[in-house]
Structures are given as structure tokens and as C-alpha cells.
Structure 1
Amino acid sequence: MPRRPHTKSRYGCDNCRRRRVKCDEQGPPCTNCILRELSGCTYSRVLPQNLIAKARCQNSDPVPAQPGYAQHSNGTSVAPMSSLSLPPTIDELELMHQFSTETYRSLCVSKSETRTWQTLIPRLALKNRFLMDSILALASLHIATIRESPDARAYIDAGLEYHSVSLEPFRTLIDNITPDNCDAAIAQAVVTTAICLALPQLTAGRENTSRIHNMLMVFELLQGVKRILTLSQPWINLELFSQGIFWKDELGGLERDTDTALEQLTMLNEQTTINSNLIHHRVNNDVINHLRYCFMKFSCSPDPAPVLAWLAAVDKEFVDNLHRREPFSLLILAHWGILLKGLDGEQWWWAQNSGNVLVSELMEELRSEDPLWEGCLRWLKDKMSAEDTEPST
């Protein structure tokens, strides 16, 4: 009678050996330790060279979690490889080099964040494949903005693929936050927001996706981040936005027309919702007040912090109203679109023209003959025409 083939793992991690379960020998961390969120996935037995070569090949296959660099006890590192079929002209090392030398700058809101985005977050990405895919997506899209066709198209396609595969693990992660992954989740939220703002401009004419649709996806993701910040505040080590002027007490003044427009928006909320829906009235009032605060912060600190902070702060009820295309909620979003227009420029390349396109789409949906809306709509039109005629800097 033939002997049964050997099925046990001879070079499994110490955790699996203690638990007497089969290890896939693909770590650290191995799949078992990832799925059970076990720390200290170490290998006391040295993996032979022929199995190290095999691990390199197998590690390119999809796994049901986010693998990091495989560091074996003999000091050999096995990098996590993407399962995507990229064009031969695009290499992950090129994309990582792009992120760590150029792209990271477009996410910094102060000099104090340079080390965070250039060093700490790429290091987090080595342990969290979803974050790696996300920053490679942003880097690929960034290269596309400075390349000519057809090279640019190849980088856009790569960016789309990386972005697509990063989303589902991120959504799963939001419901399973731990001290080990909360920093990666926050970094992922910022990078994903930048990607969602950049994509419609880069894929114009290729994909029939509106800027409003993309913003709704951002809202959904950032609602999960609010939960992260609430549940894991003591665990967070990254200091994103925290060193900039946005979180200090200073507030800039508003231009007279902007101040008047926000007052009109508040009055319109009083006139249209206070007697019909008290919940919507309260939610809208809070959202408008925070929008005013962000406009004032932006006037003294013109960077992404106050722009993105408003997206992350709005209530779920407001996001639900946007999904239902509730007109007054869309009108508030259009006012934020004017704030987004303030990021136009080379430094924030991922926001280039995003505000302009978003407001234009919203204005198409907000055509109204109601005289109560006239003042708010006129301000939007004036801001669009005034900034469109200004020379670019």
C-alpha cells in the first residue's frame, strides 16, 4: 500500500507550530496569522534556498489578506508582488520611486509632514498591500499627467487597476480596525480621496463617470474613517494635518461675497426645511457652519487640510441626501466645490480642475426658477466666471 503524501509544513511559523496547524510558510506574516490577527509571526527554522525561490513565485498569487514583506530568519526578504497584469513598460519600483521622490509632496500640508508621507507611510505600505496598491495607483496617475499619449494611457490604466484592487480590502478593514492597522487606514483614506478627485479628469472621454458619483464614493469611504478616528484615537501615531495651521485657533477672514453667500445658504435652509423636516434642517445647518469654518481656515492656510476636513466631517444623513440627489444638499456641495477650486495648481495636481467640473455638473442639476435660490446660484456662477478669467499661476 503506497504511503500517503506528506502534508505537514516543515518550515512553518512558530505560531502555527505551537497551534499545531498547517502553515503556508509565506510569511511573516503567514496567512493564518493574518486571518487571526496574531502578532509575532516568526520563523525559527531556516527556509532552504529552493523553497525561498518557490515562495517568490507563490507570493505573486492573490491571498485573502494583506501580505507584507516576507522576512525569513535567514535575512532574505520576499517582496509582496502585485497580481495585476501591468504593461511591460511599467514597474512597481518605478512607481514607488515616483511616490517617494515627487508624488508624496502633493499630500503634505506642511513641512512637518514630509517624513510622514515620504518615509513612514511607504513603510506602512510594506505591511499593508491595500495601502501599497493605493500609493502605487496615485504615483501612476501622477506620471500620466506628465507623459504624452500613448504612454500616459498605460499609466492611467495601471492606476485604475491598482485603485480598483485596493478598495475592497479597505472597506473590509474599516470594519476590523486594530492598533496595528489604524494608521494605514487613515493614510489610505487620504490617498484614495486624492485618487477619486484625479480620476475623472484623467479618464475624461473614456469612462462615463460623473464627478458627483466620484464624490459620493469618497463620502462613503470617509464616513468609515470617521468611525476609525472615533474608535482608535488612542492608537493613532500618524500626525496628518495635526501640525499645520488648520488645527490651530487662527481663523482667516472671508471675502464679503463669500460671507454673504454662506449667509444666504443658511437663510435658505431656514426657509425651506425648518417647517418640513427638522432632521434635515439640523444636518444642513451643521454642514453649512462647518463649511464656513473651512472657508475661513482656507483663507489663512490654502492647502488640502480644510478642503478634505469638510468631506470627512459631514453627517451620514447628509451623505444619504446626496445619494437621493436632494437639491438643497447638492447646492451645499456646490458651495464646497468653490472651496475645492482653490486647490487648482501644480502642487495639488490631483485636484486640478476638479472643483470646476464638479460645480459645473451640479449647476446642471440645480437649474431652478425658485427666486429663493437666485442669490446662491448667482454667487456660484460669479465665482466660476471670475476664476475662469483669471490668469493661471
Structure 2
Amino acid sequence: MPRKALEHDFLMNGILAVAALHMAATTDPPEALSYLDAALEYHNQAFTPFRQAVDNMTPSNCDAVFAHSVITTVIGIGLPHLTAERGESSSMTENIIVVCELLQGVSNIFRIGRSWFQTSLYSRSKFFDDHAQNLASDTEEALTRLTAINDAMMAPVDADQHRIIKDALGLLRRSFTRYRSSPDAASVLSWLAVVDKEFVHALRRRQPLALLALIHWAVLLGELDGKVWWAKKSGPALVSELLVALRPGDPLWEAARSWPKQKLGL
């Protein structure tokens, strides 16, 4: 990727942003604050050129676009915790939704122009295949409960929304299953990229069932805490925010709210 960065300024700025963010995460204040400021500056410089590249993807820039999409995801997850440490407010939920929106443009073009990609990370056509592991019993119960809530609440009143949530939950199950056999960041982050744009719109509208799916994904995100520096405390932070947004309801709904909280020790 460094060679690609020499050809694409947005990728170079992205690499510098994540490097500065890493330094901010591993350096004591006040020096950490200067690294955080640098990370934000590089990230902002990359944003508009990256969006332009997404809208005009070609065989020559597609690998750089995908590399930067990973960087954007890392920054979106890691930034709220670091800004909170210096007393600034940054919504974890909003950052995740923005990441989803950015990844939508990338993933759509990937499906169209798959033959362009040279980087092995992005050329795997069967990402979720060969992961037929059984889920832990509590995870299986939690995901089955989500499906039941969707069936009870949405199927009778809005067939389209029921389908959108059902599809997102199916992909979430596949991410949990893949993580069971391949406990890596790709298994966790993949869900953000593969969910349908209608589901991302539901998240943007703060649709309760979409947020309930997201709070369960936060359990998966929490698995990365201690494995990668940028995921530190991110899972609990996202769950804490979403518990405020998701009001108490009937016993089935309450059980769905409680599982992520219990899993992350909140």
C-alpha cells in the first residue's frame, strides 16, 4: 500500500492519519493531543478526494480506494474514545453510521468491478464461505430472539422493513459465525460493508430495530478490545450510547437490550 499511496494523495493522508492516531493512543498527554490534532487534519484532507475517488473508481485507483476504506473504518471506530479522553464529545453511533455510508459506495462498486482488484484482501469472492461453526448458545439465543422481535413487530405492519432487518440479521449471524472460526478484524468489520443501503438508511433514521441489530454487532466489536489498539473500549461505548437510545419495552425487547450489556460487563 505505501507505493499506492505515492500515487493517491487521499491514501497517503489516510496512512498518516491512522499513524498519528496510533501515536495519540499510545502517548501520554499533552503530547498525545498534538498527534490527535494531526490525525484529524490528515483525515479531513483525505475526505473529499476519497469521496471523489469512490464516485469515479477505475482499475487504476480501486485498490487505493479499498485500502482507504479500511483506514476510514479504523479511524471511525478509534476516534471517539480518544476525543472523549480530551473532553470532547464524539458520538460512537454517528461515527459508525458515517462509516457504513462511506462503505456503501465502495462495496457497491466492488460488486460491479470485482475483476479490477489486485490486492488479495479484496479479491476474496467467498468471504463468508467455509465457516460452518456452531455459535455459542447465548449468541444463538440472542440472534434468534432478534429474529423473533422483527417477525412480531415488523412483519404484520411493514413487509419491506421486515425484509431489510431480516437480511441485516442474517448477515450479522454470518459475521458472528465467521468470527467463531476466524477471530480477526475482518470478520467484525465486514458487516458494516455488506449490509444493504436500506438498512444503513434505517440506522440513519435511528429505527429501533436497526439500532437493536447494531447493539448486538457491538458485542462482536468488543471482541477486538485488547487485540487491536483502535478498538479499545469501543464496544462498551457503542452499547452504552445505544442503551440510552433504545427505550425499555416488553420482556422480549428487554432481554434483547440486556444481552449486549451483560456480554460487555456493563
Bin the TM-score by the shorter chain. over 0.9
Task: State the AA in 1 paired with 2:203.
Answer: L
How has the CA–CA distance of structure 1 residues 352 and 136 changed in structure 2, closer, same or farther, with 3 Å as cutoff?
Answer: same
Question: Structure 1 residue 185 and structure 2 residue 68: aligned?
Answer: no
What is the TM-score normalised by the length of structure 2? 0.95
Task: State the AA in 1 paired with 2:145.
Answer: Q
Aligned equivalent of 1:165, options 17, 42, 45: 45
Question: Structure 1 residue 249 and structure 2 residue 130: aligned?
Answer: yes
Q: Does 368-377 or 265-274 show the bigger shift?
A: 368-377
The CA deviation string for residues 57-113 of structure 1, in whole angstroms up to 9 with x for no partner, is xxxxxxxxxxxxxxxxxxxxxxxxxxxxxxxxxxxxxxxxxxxxxxxxxxxxxxxxx
Match of residue 138 from structure 1: 18
Matches within 5 A, 1:92-111: none
Question: Structure 1 residue 297 and structure 2 residue 158: aligned?
Answer: no
1:352 Cα deviation from its structure 2 partner? 1.3
Question: Structure 1 residue 226 and structure 2 residue 107: aligned?
Answer: yes
Q: Does 303-312 or 370-379 show the bigger shift?
A: 370-379
Task: State the AA in 2 paired with 1:351.
Answer: A
Match of residue 265 from structure 1: 146
Q: SS at 1:283's partner residue?
A: helix
Alignment gaps of 5+ in structure 1 = 1-120, 389-393
Alpha carbons 2:218, 2:260 under 8 Å: kept: no
1:241 Cα deviation from its structure 2 partner? 6.1
Question: Structure 1 residue 328 and structure 2 residue 209: aligned?
Answer: yes
Task: State the AA in 2 paired with 1:151.
Answer: E
Rounded to whole Å, the distance in 2 between the matches of 1:343 and 1:241 is: 21
Rounded to whole Å, the distance in 2 between the matches of 1:380 and 1:154 is: 35
Match of residue 274 from structure 1: 155
Alpha carbons 1:246, 1:301 under 8 Å: kept: no
1:248 Cα deviation from its structure 2 partner? 4.3
1:246 Cα deviation from its structure 2 partner? 5.3
Match of residue 166 from structure 2: 285
Alpha carbons 2:145, 2:252 under 8 Å: kept: no
Question: Structure 1 residue 364 and structure 2 residue 252: aligned?
Answer: no
Match of residue 378 from structure 1: 258
Match of residue 341 from structure 1: 222
Task: State the AA in 1 paired with 2:144.
Answer: E
Task: State the AA in 2 paired with 1:122.
Answer: P
Rounded to whole Å, the distance in 2 between the matches of 1:174 and 1:242 is: 18
Alpha carbons 1:246, 1:305 under 8 Å: kept: no
Q: Does 147-156 or 371-380 show the bigger shift?
A: 371-380
What is the TM-score normalised by the length of structure 1? 0.65
Match of residue 147 from structure 1: 27
Rounded to whole Å, the distance in 2 between the matches of 1:355 and 1:349 is: 13
Match of residue 90 from structure 1: none
Rounded to whole Å, the distance in 1 between the matches of 2:134 and 2:232 is: 25
Structure 1 vs Structure 2: percent identity of aligned residues?
Answer: 47
Alignment gaps of 5+ in structure 2 = none
The structure with more radius of gyration: 1
Match of residue 318 from structure 1: 199
The CA deviation string for residues 215-242 of structure 1, in whole angstroms up to 9 with x for no partner, is 1110110001112202221111011166
1:193 Cα deviation from its structure 2 partner? 0.3
Alpha carbons 2:128, 2:174 under 8 Å: kept: no
Alpha carbons 2:63, 2:119 under 8 Å: kept: yes
Alpha carbons 2:131, 2:177 under 8 Å: kept: no
Question: Which one has the bigger helix percentage?
Answer: 2
1:355 Cα deviation from its structure 2 partner? 0.9
1:369 Cα deviation from its structure 2 partner? 2.7
Corresponding residue pairs, total: 264
